[in-house]
Amino acid sequence: MSVKWQDPPIVKPGRHGGSKWKVATDELRERPGVWALIGESESSAVAFNINHGKIKGIEAGEFEATCRNTVGSKADIYARYVGAASA
């Protein structure tokens, strides 16, 4: 394999070693209880994973998510911050 001399790609917000949902969840925390479209044409499993705390940086019960406009396994993901999960 030969060396390819090039700069690394620019890192998109929320994709630097953490969850790609970090930017969205940070914004949702600023407006508790308000629904927002956080992803278009994403895996419909994302809503389940958010609701069950299966995404890095999201505790179960901290956010509420649902999906709409489902086509196959892709959907628009809506979420809102409902407060810190109770211990």
Higher pLDDT, 73 or 17: 73
Instruction: Give me the pLDDT at residue 86, please.
Output: 56
Whether residue 66 contacts residue 78, with contact meaning beta carbons closer than 8 Å, is answered with yes
Mean pLDDT in residue range 53-82: 91
24 CB-contact burial (10 Å; exposed 0-12 / middle 13-18 / buried 19+): buried
Q: Which two tokens stand for residue 15?
A: 């994709």
Mean pLDDT in residue range 9-29: 71
Grade residue 51 by pLDDT with cuts at 50, 70 and 90.
very high
Is the predicted pLDDT of residue 50 greater than 90, yes or no? yes
Is the predicted pLDDT of residue 4 greater than 80, yes or no? no
Grade residue 11 by pLDDT with cuts at 50, 70 and 90.
low
Instruction: Give me the pLDDT at residue 10, please.
Output: 67
